[in-house]
Amino acid sequence: MELFLARLFDGLSAGATYAVIAVALVLIYKATTLINFAQGELAMLGSFFVYIFAVEQDMPIYVAVVAGMIVSALLAAGIERVLIRPFDPADHLPLVIITLGLFLVINAAAGMIWGFDPRRFPRVFPSGDAWTMGIARLRWYTVGTLVTVLVLLVLLTLLLKKTKIGLAFRAVSSNLESSGLVGVRAGPTLQFGWMLATAVGTLAGALFVADPFRQLDPLWAQRVLIFAAAAAVLGGLDSLWGALAGGLILGFIESMVVGYVDWIPSQMGLAAAVVAIIIVLLIRPNGLFGTRTVERV
Amino acid sequence: MSLLTVTQGTTAHKVYRWLPWALFVLVVISVPFWAVHTPSFSVGDSNFTFSLGNLNHAVAYMVGVLGLGLLVGYNGQISLGNSFFMGIGGYLTATLVVDNEWPYLLTLVVVLPVCFVVGMLVGLPALRIKGLYLALTTLGLAAVFPSIVRMDQLRDRTGGANGKRISADLEAPDWLPLEDIAEFLSGIPLIGDWMFGDGRLGGRDADDVWVFILLALLATAAFWVSRNLIYSRPGRSIIAVRDNETGAAVNGVNVPMTKTLTFGVSAALGGLSGTMYAMAIGFVAPDVFGINLAIFLIVGLVVGGVGTLSGAVIGGLVIVFVPHWASQIESVPVVPERYLRGPTGTFFLGVLLIILTFFLPGGIVYGWRKIRARLVTVRPAGHAASGEEVELAEGDSAGGLLSRGQDVLDVDDEEEHGEPVSAPAQATNQGEPT
Amino acid sequence: MRASRLWRIFAIMLALTLVAAACGDDDDTDTATDDTTAEDGGEDGGDGGEDGGDGGEISLDEEIEVAEGTVLPLPDCPSDWAADTGLTDDTIKLAMSLPESGPVAALGGLDDGMRAWFDQMEPIDGRKIELVSKDDAYTPDRALTNVEDFLESDDPFAFVWMVGTPNVLAIRDLVGEECVPMLFNSTGYPGWGDPENYPWTMGGLLAYSTEANMWCNYIADEVGPDATVAALYMDNDFGASYENTVSECDINLVESVRHDPAAADVTDEITTLAASDADVVLLGTTGAPCPQAMAAIAQSSWDPVTIMSNTCQPIATYFKPIDPAGEGVIVAATAKEAGELEDPDVQAAREALEAAGLNPDQGAFYTGIIFGQNVELMFRQAAEMEGGLNRVNLMRAAWNADYHVPLALEGSDAKTDGVNDAYTVEAAQFVKYVPPAAGEELGRYEPLGDILSVEGETGAFEG
């Protein structure tokens, strides 16, 4: 029982983390129907901004997180304007290569500037346990991350459903050409999508490296991106709440299946997740909560 | 405006069409004798090398990119897991050569069918999973491969985490007059001595050249088979499925069968590429066939040109030589050296990818064709009398993936493979009198 | 639109012309350089000086036994092989392939640290060491093509401190055929000590098997023979070496798990280990998972004796970010810590790094100094031999090494003796981490008992 609870909490903790990064991926997908390979690296860069504000500029951590989100959003706006907008948004392949190039450049630049040694990141939540039973410990950190994800999702849903910019965003993501016809300017709206996704990514990054079990280094995003992408796929690439579901399910698969199914060794967590994803997608090709695409002939 | 106008059917047109091929063959024959001396060129303090080892590595990757291109570019299935099949091919070859003492080439008897079948199996779920869902799922598959070969149950065969060294060397056969060719090339007036050195092949040089010849032959076979497949009836089905699945089905194409078979062929090419990798490098290790290779194959495909076969040649070269050269950049004007510490190679690689995309968004092959079309105009025979110039290959670069593929494919038809029937049609469709 | 296209074409053509021009020029310079090198060799011979002259006398006709059971098969070497390739009157050219990008990019600072040491040390017989390095992103194929490149265009005297077990395995046969020394492989794979079959290469770290064996002895002696043990390994070549040894040990191993080197963290694995409630936990992992595992264990209800790989020894890198969670963690240390500021050797190392503009507390830079000192001392030993510095003497020095690296622990000497003892680093001391007291910047290690040496026994352990 204790072990079961311990694994449950592990799954919750990992899942909440995957979810918050998956939300950033979903946002950029909704805006551009594109997987942005650089999303993880932008989040990594954002987490370094937060680190600089908090540790080197001595800002309170919450202020630093907000400042980091703003700076990274501005950076994303610049990237979108200079590197993305010159290309046709409907032609994905050049854009994919641009984001791959950004992925390499940002990661390498961070390594060149800050080195690859791990750093201590300021804590955003209390470090103790909210509830314990033997080896099972529900950490405040896990609770905090989950609450943050929920608040974030509610805010994002409100933003997209109730505001004008949210309406434009949804219009562009649902049909680029028709939105242009009704007077939505695609460029600035996509730029807004990039800014929003990157700011959320920075928040996700700060939450990820603030876990006392993890440290800040330029490679953390590479380690987690494939899991976050898997979570986004599982939940449905265009579903914000699906990202939460996908993240949690993935976290549980990793902790439960690998913990209890003897013939799956623990280093095969990703393999188990991939198999699970294939099964889910066979039944629901657009993920658990994704919008079914209608094919026109 | 263009510098030259060539009328179809004339001798000039034949020269225009076949001369590049003749040059290409000439280059392929002579390049190993040049690269074997590892020529280098320097810019500033940086010294960039071009070695036969890297070239062999690149030839192996060309076939991998080709396999991916068949699936993504021609069949429209965005699957990114081809490194998985390369891994299977590489490891099967390694274990058969080392543990069962088979000759390298014989292992293809196992590699090709196994990869074909595994590819079909992976292709089955792909009938339902589409687009980015398929892309990310197959990327996950690619990420899992290293853990699979590290498993204890497979360790006797795969060598586990340490990788597997293939100690059997490919030795140049005695009947092959490599020394004579080297000597002949070195004897060419003016450039001979400068490019090919003294014409002697020392130590392992002859074996390296032999490996190159084998790899080049395998690659040629792979490209030839792919080309014939694309221009055959099944090939038309493959492309029809990409362009409009429903339309293809209405016209009697067995869509599921076509898609699954394409997956199988693509995987078999991936397996071949893995075997070629094992021949070129002589060593297989788990992390070689991981997610990085999967991503590099995409880079090679897109930078070369999606929906072209020749793009795979460029793509293979790019994914080996660009990172290699990027890591050899020692100094950059203006930038102080202390900032050039750490992963500079990756940094420049990223910068180069971005710059390349700005200049040639559709890939190098496509860009080259545009330049060529600007320099040389092919005038269809039927229109010759009117004296109007017709510009080909000026398709809009802003088309989506699929329409771009279509453009390039048609150009392919016309320019590379000389099917005269399609050319005038192409010209009437696209070219506007200027 | 049209104009801009024309500009692009023009720019591309210009670039191509430049490249072509550069090509032409530099091939010429290359040939010129080659000629000079050849002449240099000739001059050395003419001088009849100690160095190059005698290097020239080594004949390829016979094998040379450089140490017990260690024979350099010179007749099998390439015909253009020379014992003094890579040496000039005032430089020694060494080469190294290492990961400066990719998953273990943190090791990319090793070459910078080594250069910092070489730049300030006294020349060896008037020669300065010049180190050329290339990035292989930790993949064997790029390591192999890098080495081919080095052999073809740089002609290094020797390879040093190549990183990664698969990478070195991929190139070992090649450097053997080319008869180029490859010293101090920067991996603890126990198979490097095989001078009988691979006389041109040797390892440079405490073998992982030796370290794991020390762990087992420590558990039996200090914790108790019945202590239950749980173990975490990284699922790659590195963790496998530990796992192979530990699973053969005479200890009560109750649980062992591997973690994916690419996983985001090791929390799930620690939960599995914690469930075993073992008395001891072994952390056979490296890099980011070290602090992750220590932090997760510290916050769990589990309170085992924690023994961690000495690749995570640097305090500033692995303990400082999680202070005080690393309290009590035990490491089999092989070198002095960068934080031991009162030690003159550590001071010298820090000064060398600071002079080169490198942060002395960054793990890879400091380790690079240790690597550089090994190279320096072994080359000095070779240079003192009859005939001076050449490749044969270098291998003679390698397989008959006897020196003490300043940053190594007192009492740990680098000693080899051909097949009888093919490992340089065979001593370690168990130390326990003490977090910094209030006001202190860094924690420190507290020694547990004496230095343990298994001099000459490394080859006996299962790897």
Coil/strand/helix, residue B38: coil
Q: Residue B417's pLDDT band (boundaries 50, 70, 90)?
A: very low
A270 touches chain C (CB under 8 A): yes
Please report the pLDDT score of residue A291 as a whole number.
Answer: 83
Q: Is a pLDDT exceeding 80 seen at residue C15?
A: no
pLDDT tens by residue, B378-392: 877 765 444 444 444
Q: Which residue has the higher pLDDT, A21 or B426?
A: A21
Report the alpha-carbon angle A288-A291-A293, nearest 5: 125
Q: What is the CA radius of gyration of chain A?
A: 19
The region, left, alpha or beta by phi > 0 then psi within -120 to 50, assigned to residue B390 is: beta
Mean of the per-residue pLDDT values for chain B?
Answer: 82
Spatial distance between the Cα atoms of B277 and C97, rounded to a whole number of angstroms? 20
Whose CA is closest to A17, among A273, A278, A225? A225
* Mean pLDDT value of segment A20-29: 91
CA distances (Å), origin B137, targets A40, A267, B81, B132, B409: 18, 19, 8, 8, 28
Coil/strand/helix, residue C27: helix
Q: DSSP states of C38-60 as a string?
A: HHHHHHHHHHT-SSHHHHHH--T
Q: Residue C187's pLDDT band (boundaries 50, 70, 90)?
A: confident
Whose CA is closest to C397, among C407, C387, C410, C409? C387
Residue C324: cis peptide before it, omega within 30 degrees of 0: yes
Cβ pair B196, B182 in contact under 8 A: yes
Q: Is a pLDDT exceeding 60 seen at residue B408?
A: no
* Mean pLDDT value of segment B59-87: 94
Nearest chain B Cα to C240, which residue? B161
pLDDT tens by residue, B67-78: 999 999 999 888
Cβ distance A278 to B137 less than 8 Å, yes or no, reads yes
Coil/strand/helix, residue B327: coil
Cβ pair B261, B234 in contact under 8 A: yes
Q: Is a pLDDT exceeding 80 seen at residue B407?
A: no
Cβ pair B87, B244 in contact under 8 A: no
Name the pairing type of β-strands C305-308 and C280-284.
parallel
Q: Which residues of A touch C275 (CB under 8 A)?
A: 3, 6, 135
Spatial distance between the Cα atoms of B246 and C124, rounded to a whole number of angstroms? 76
CA distances (Å), origin C25, targets B43, C19, C20: 10, 10, 9
Report the alpha-carbon angle B30-B33-B36, nearest 5: 140
Quote helix, strand, coil % in chain B, to nearest 5: 70, 5, 25
Please report the pLDDT score of residue C46 as a whole number.
Answer: 37
Spatial distance between the Cα atoms of B343 and B350, rounded to a whole number of angstroms? 11
Name the pairing type of β-strands C201-203 and A136-139.
unpaired
Tell me the residue length of chain C.
463
Tokens of A223: 């380690």
A228 touches chain B (CB under 8 A): no
Which residues partner with C284 through β-bridges?
C233
Q: Which residues of B touch A270 (CB under 8 A)?
A: 140, 143-144, 147
Neighbours of chain A (3+ CB pairs under 8 A): B, C
Whose CA is closest to A118, among A47, A57, A59, A61? A47
Spatial distance between the Cα atoms of B30 and B423, rounded to a whole number of angstroms? 33
Nearest chain A Cα to B144, which residue? A271
Please name the residue that has the structure tokens 């394409």.
B262
Spatial distance between the Cα atoms of B343 and B25, rounded to a whole number of angstroms? 37
In angstroms, the separation between the Cα of residue A81 and the nearest Cα of chain B is: 14
Q: Residue C459's pLDDT band (boundaries 50, 70, 90)?
A: low
pLDDT tens by residue, C82-126: 999 999 999 999 999 999 888 888 888 899 999 999 999 999 989
Mean of the per-residue pLDDT values for chain C?
Answer: 85
Q: DSSP states of B177-222 as a string?
A: -HHHHHHHHHTSTTTHHHHHTTS---TTHHHHHHHHHHHHHHHHHH
pLDDT tens by residue, B299-348: 899 889 888 999 999 999 999 998 888 888 877 777 777 777 778 888 88
Name the pairing type of β-strands C427-434 and C330-333.
antiparallel
Spatial distance between the Cα atoms of C462 and C223, rounded to a whole number of angstroms? 23
Question: Nearest Cβ partner of A258 from C103, C268, C316?
Answer: C268
Tokens of A166: 């949210």
Please name the residue that has the structure tokens 């084998």.
B214
Coil/strand/helix, residue C223: helix
B302 touches chain A (CB under 8 A): yes
Question: What pTM, to 2 d.p., does this model score?
Answer: 0.87
Which residues partner with C434 through β-bridges?
C444
Q: What is the CA radius of gyration of chain B?
A: 23
Helices (H), B282-363: 291-304, 310-326, 344-359
Q: Which residues of C touch A211 (CB under 8 A)?
A: 265
Give just the sign of the alpha carbon dihedral A194, A196, A202, A207: negative
Cβ distance B350 to A105 less than 8 Å, yes or no, reads yes
Cβ pair C139, B61 in contact under 8 A: no
Q: Is a pLDDT exceeding 60 seen at residue B402?
A: no
Question: Nearest Cβ partner of A255 from C109, C262, C268?
Answer: C268
Q: Which residues of C touch A270 (CB under 8 A)?
A: 260, 262-263
Please report the pLDDT score of residue B428 as a whole number.
Answer: 35
Give just the sign of the alpha carbon dihedral C425, C428, C432, C437: negative
Coil/strand/helix, residue C259: strand
C197 touches chain A (CB under 8 A): no
ipTM: 0.90
DSSP letter assigned to residue C460: G
Please name the residue that has the structure tokens 């594109």.
A34
Please report the pLDDT score of residue C12 as a whole number.
Answer: 54
Name the pairing type of β-strands A129-133 and A136-139.
antiparallel
Q: What are phi and psi of B188, to 5 degrees?
A: -60, 130
pLDDT tens by residue, A170-192: 888 777 788 888 888 888 888 99
Among A32-46, A196-210, B34-48, B75-89, whose mean pLDDT is lowest? B34-48
Q: DSSP states of C333-375 as a string?
A: E-B--TT-TT-HHHHHHHHHHHHTT--TTSHHHHHHHHHHHHH
In angstroms, the separation between the Cα of residue A34 and the nearest Cα of chain B is: 8
Cβ distance A111 to C108 less than 8 Å, yes or no, reads yes
Please report the pLDDT score of residue B425 as a whole number.
Answer: 36
Q: Is a pLDDT exceeding 60 seen at residue C30?
A: no
Cβ distance B286 to C236 less than 8 Å, yes or no, reads yes
Q: Which of the residues B297, B314, B353 would you substitute to probe the A interface, choosing the one with the greatest number of A C-beta atoms within 10 Å?
A: B353
Please report the pLDDT score of residue A136 as a whole number.
Answer: 85
Spatial distance between the Cα atoms of B64 and B80, rounded to a whole number of angstroms? 11
Question: Nearest Cβ partner of C26 from B41, B204, B283?
Answer: B41
Q: Is a pLDDT exceeding 90 seen at residue C350?
A: yes
Which residues partner with B146 through β-bridges?
none
